[in-house]
Structures are given as C-alpha cells and as structure tokens.
Structure 1
Amino acid sequence: MRFTHRTLSQRVRFASGDAAAALAEEVTALGASRVMVIAAAGKAEVARRVADGLPVAHWHHETAMHVPLPVAERARAAAREHRADALACVGGGSTTGLAKAVALTTGLPIVAVPTTYAGSEATDVWGLTDNGRKTTGADDRVLPRAIVYDATLTLTLPADLSAASGLNALAHCVDAMWGPRADPIDRALAGEGIRALRTGLPQVADDPAGLPGRELALYGAYLAAVAFASAGSGLHHKICHVLGGMFDLPHARTHAVVLPHVLAFNAPAAPDAEARIAAAFGTGTAIAGLDLLRVRLHAPTALRDLGMPEDGIAAAVRAVLGAVPANNPRPVTADDLTALLRAAWEGTEPR
C-alpha cells in the first residue's frame, strides 16, 4: 500500500439551531471587523438572522448558478469598495462559489454556512463561467477557514431540491472512488458518505420538517466533499461542469441525472470501487443501490427536462472529451460519450 493523502485544514462545526452563535465565534476568531455577507436574494432574511451579530460592512445578494465572471467581478469590486476583511457566505453552492471567487483574488478568509448539501464549503475547488465555458481549479485561498453546519437552515429546502442536492453530494462520493488522486482514505470517507446519504435522504423525503434526516444528509455531504477534494474531479464532474457552463443547467439536478450513467459506464472496469459502493448502499450491485435511492427520491431522469437542447450533445461530447481524466477506469471515446449523453438526455436506462 503506497499513497500520498492531503488533508485540508479547516474547522467544522455541527450545531443544529446554533448557527448565529457559532458564526459569530468563528468571525471573532478571525479578528475580522468588516465582514461582507454573501447570500442570494431569496436567502437574505436567513442571512440577516444568522449574521445579525456580526460587524457587517456589506450585505451582498447578487449570486448566480455556475458563478458567471461578471457576477464575480462585481462581488470583488464590492469587497474592495467596502474594505471587507472577511467573507461570510450563507446559502448553497452558488453562494459559496461566489465567496470563493472573491477569495481567489483577494485572499479574504471565508466562513461558510451551508443551507444545502452542495459540499463546496469543504473543498478548495473554485469555478467560474465565461461565455458558456466553465473553468475550475484548486487553490488554498478559496477553502473556507470554517464551516458552520446547522440542519435547521435546510428545513426550507423543498424535498425535491433536497433530493437533487443530496444526489449531487452522492456524486462526490462516487467520483472520489476513482478520481485522479483517489486513495484508500478517500474511499473510506466516500463509503461512509454514501451510507449517511442513503439513510438520511429518504428520511428527508418522508419527514421534510424533521432534523435527523437532514443532519445525516449534511454529515454525508461533508464527508463526500472532503473525499472529493482529495481525490479530484472524475468523469462525472467533468461532464456536469461542461453541461452546466454550456447550457446553464440547474447544477444539482444535472448531477442527479448524469450520475447513474457514469456509474454504469465505469463500474464494470472498477470492481473494487463497485463493491465498495454496493456495500455502502447495502445492495448486490452499485447501480442497483443508486437506482433504488433515485426511485425512492423521485429524482429527475432526463437532461431534456432540464433545458438541454438535443443538438447540444455533439458540442458537449467535444468539450468533455478533452477533459476526461487520464486514469478513468476505462478508456472514453467520442462514441462512448455520445451514447452516455444521449441516454441521459432521453432519460433512458443507463448502459
């Protein structure tokens, strides 16, 4: 057994119902006195409640999926104008992503308060979209110094969005099994993440107002993101990043649709990973476990239902082909990607 594993340094706090106090403590620990709070307009009230006790220099509410470059530039300008010395982001992946875009060029520390299961808060990965092309990278500056997980903040996330967001987290686990830098520690974290998500997400579906399922889902999403940050972006995420940037598709739902197709494609060539995923699901095969969960959660099944045009398949294939990780479990051809994306677009059974 030979591998090199890198563990990212950040403080993680699970505190259901205690986000405001925990956030205030983390900002105090940073010594910040001019905080820029980033939250989508729809989360403005939640952000005000959570960040009410902070020394806020600016409330910033312009966010967008996939972090378009102009949106990032305006946020960076706001940070400079208000002389921010720290960032607090309250929301989902788009909000965290915007905070990362600001930190990437300013070096400002971030404290993240997630309200979905996106997982971006636990990675050093950033993403920006410009002219239909999404660019991603990794940089220590964008890793939040601390995360405050408060499951009560996810209670307003509808069951269908909770399912899609949770399946996005599950995709982190799957990619972490065979990502470019995947190691035994990543696979152990990913396996526990799958177990937590496959237990927690059905509880959220059954009892959207209950905390136990949402706490499990947050826990699983965190483990998934940590594993993914270490293992690196695999085939699934390369595909979804292209689709999101090219067609402005909803992030979590796109992951939910594409995941079973990538799993069905890669699993036969990665028997150890397949067995680990199946064991985490408690089923005979990995794809059977994922199928059961997707049916249970009424997950979306077709990219065409999300707004992807049929004539976009060929362009997407060309873009993805140049980004396929060299150590993907099996070789990937243009024909393979065309068949995979065609099935995902139509919503047919993975093959």
Structure 2
Amino acid sequence: MPLEFAYQPSPQRIVFGSGKLDQVAAEAERLGITRAMVLSTPGKTSLAEDVAGHLGDRCAAILPTARMHTPVEVTDEAMTTVEAERIDGLVAIGGGSTTGLGKAIAYRTDLPQLVLPTTYSGSELTDILGQTEDGEKTTIRDARVLPETVIYDVGLTLSLPVAVSVTSAMNAMAHAVEGLYAPNSNPILALMAEEGIRALGVAIPGIVRAGADEAARGQALYGAWLCGTVLGGTSMALHHKLCHVLGGSFGLPHAETHTVILPHAAAYNAATAPDAMAAVARALGADDAPTALFDLAKNAGAPMALRDIGMPEDGLDRAAEIATANPYPNPRPLARDAIRKLLDDAWHGRLPAA
C-alpha cells in the first residue's frame, strides 16, 4: 500500500542553544513588539526582571501572576494591564503555567508571543490552550495561541530542581507517546516522537546524576522541543484527557500527574497500538514500553502514585465518569470500568497492567 499522509509544519521561529537570552530584544524587534509585557509565575519574578532588563525600553510591564492550569480569572486580571499599558506583545518566561497565561491573553487579543521556556512542558509549541473555569479544565485549539517565536536557552534550565526536571521531562515524553498512535500522525512526526523519547530517556538519568550537567540539560531541552512539536501536530487521547480531568477538577500538579498516569495509559492502549509501543520501547532500549516508562520515572525518584500527589481515593469514580463522558479518539475503546481500574492502579502506584 503506498504511503499517504498530510503534514503542515509549524510557522514558528525556534532559536536554540546556550546564552540565547541575549537575543530576546532582537527577537522582540523582529516581531514588532515595542511595549512588551513580561509574564512569569510569582516564583520567577527575578527571571522576569532579568528579561525586562534585556528588553530595555521595549518592556512596558512585568506581570508575575501566572498560575497552574491557567484559571480564567487570572487571565481576566491580566487583561486590565494589557489595556492600561497599551501592550503590543507578550514575552513569557517559565514553564507551562506562564506560557498558558500568554496563550490565554493571545487568544483574546491576537498579540504576538515570544516564549523562553525554563521547563520541558512543550506548551510553547502548540496551538492548544488549556484553561480552568468553575473547577473544569477545557481545551481550545486556535492559531492565535501559537507563539510566534521560542527561545530555548539551555542555561535557563540549569537551576531547575532535579525533581521538577524529571516530572517535566516525563510530561514532555507523554506528548510523543500519544503522538505515535494519534490518528492524524505521520512518518515525520513519528520520527520526531521516537527521537524525542530517546533524548529524554538519556537526559533524565543524566540530570539525576548531576543537575547542572549542561549536556544532559541540552538533551532534555532538545527532546522536549521534539515532543512538543509532536503535540502541536497531532491530537491527544486518553492520557492527556485523564491528566486534564485530574488537574482541572481535582487540582493535581500538572507534570507530576502526567508522570504517574503515563505508564498506565500506555498499558491501557498497548495491545491496540503495538507499533507505537514498539517505537517507545526501542527509544528506551527496553522490551516493554509501559514498564520502561514506569521504571524510568521510578528510578529517577519521581512520584508514582496519585495518592502521593493529592488525589482523594473517593474522587476516582468521578474522574472515571468525567473522562468517559464525551467520546474522543483513542486506540482502545473507552470503557468506564477499565479506566476506573487504571485510575485505581495509578492511585496505589502499582506496576502498569494491560
């Protein structure tokens, strides 16, 4: 059968390497930004101020109010600053929370975005906005939320705590795992996915051994870029749906939730996505993909049970109901009882089971 596929590469500009923060003013000028608002979380205020210093007169405001899961009320508050300061561009430094706030503002305004990631979440590479309102997280795909430029400066990740680095890298890996069995994947994205998983599989143990190892950090950022590109080019399935439910409805931490759920979601789909699982196993130098994902995270000291990251056991039934309420593409049909069993295994931190 002849090979057939459709692929539309992202129009983003990617700047990758060490010391690239110095290029932020030039990249802002390239985007026509003259009154930038620098975004961060409260804990990254000093980094935001550093970016503002590099921007010089192009910085009109600093807003360190980004929060996990992008609450709509935080975006509402940010819009007052956008209007008051006549902001004409957004510069986000941080992880997925900060990128999410920038995307939420861009969704309302279509302002250009320049992102400087400090984690491996990959949100900066997608046209997907996940935001939370009234205890429920919803997703939107829209070209307006895709950042125009991403600056990957390896130096910005050197001080990321090892524990955070591990779960952030596992989060990135999840994008590629699901991208391998997405119905709209293609050979190019499959190559990116497998290489991204391989790079992260090498980087995670390296970072655990030495958190400031620039080579390991570079591999992690490279892998995150590839996996994020896969996320941006395909649709997601059970794994991401479960993580959105657990994060949006139960307030669980984003990257840690991805880390716990990934091996179990892979096991759920393994029999119906054998080629994808073979690629994951090959990338990790293992025989069984779900077990290899579980062992990689466990050996790196990551949390392995939902109960350890704040999930109440009496919420598992509701999570299973929400996750199966609306149909979405997934290699294996969505069965409420089977997903409830998956969540129970994840809550206890058991080895993934098919």
Q: TM-score, normalised by structure 2?
A: 0.96
1:147-296, aligned counterparts within 5 Å? 147-296=150-299
Cα deviation, 1:78-135, whole Å, max 9, x if unaligned, reads 1111110000000000000000000000000000000000100111110110111001
Whole-angstrom CA distance in 2 between matches of 1:75 and 1:175: 33
Contact 2:294 2:352 survives alignment (8 Å): no
- After TM superposition, the structure 1 stretch with the greater mean CA deviation from structure 2, 150-159 or 315-324, is 315-324
Cα deviation, 1:12-59, whole Å, max 9, x if unaligned, reads 01121231x221111011121100100112111112213313211110
Whole-angstrom CA distance in 1 between matches of 2:307 and 2:295: 22
- Secondary structure of 1:245's counterpart equals helix
Q: Which residue in the other structure is 2:76 paired with?
A: 73
Alignment of 1:42 with 2:35, yes or no, is no
Q: Which residue in the other structure is 1:341 paired with?
A: 343
Cα deviation, 1:169-198, whole Å, max 9, x if unaligned, reads 010111111124222222111001001100
Whole-angstrom CA distance in 2 between matches of 1:219 and 1:323: 34
The equivalent position to 1:332 in structure 2, one of 321, 331, 334, is 334
Stretches of structure 1 lacking an aligned partner (at least 5 in a row)? none
The equivalent position to 1:145 in structure 2, one of 134, 145, 148, is 148
Alignment of 1:28 with 2:20, yes or no, is no
Identity across the alignment (%) = 44
* Cα gap change, 1:241 to 1:24, in 2 (>3 Å): same
* Cα gap change, 1:59 to 1:188, in 2 (>3 Å): same
Q: Which residue in the other structure is 2:60 paired with?
A: 57
Aligned-residue Cα RMSD (Å) equals 1.1
Cα deviation, 1:114-167, whole Å, max 9, x if unaligned, reads 000010011111011011100101111111111011111112211111000000
Stretches of structure 2 lacking an aligned partner (at least 5 in a row)? none
- The ranges of structure 1 where at least 4 consecutive aligned residues each deviate by more than 3 angstroms after the TM superposition are none
- Aligned residue pair count: 349
- Opposite residue 346 of structure 2, the aligned amino acid is A
Q: Which residue in the other structure is 2:116 paired with?
A: 113
- Secondary structure of 2:196's counterpart equals helix
* 1:344 Cα deviation after fit: 0.7
* Cα gap change, 1:174 to 1:107, in 2 (>3 Å): same
Q: Which residue in the other structure is 2:8 paired with?
A: 6
- Opposite residue 34 of structure 1, the aligned amino acid is R
Contact 1:163 1:299 survives alignment (8 Å): yes
Contact 1:66 1:244 survives alignment (8 Å): yes
* 1:324 Cα deviation after fit: 4.6
Whole-angstrom CA distance in 2 between matches of 1:52 and 1:236: 40
- Secondary structure of 2:282's counterpart equals helix
* 1:291 Cα deviation after fit: 3.0
Contact 2:66 2:98 survives alignment (8 Å): yes
- After TM superposition, the structure 1 stretch with the greater mean CA deviation from structure 2, 283-292 or 306-315, is 283-292
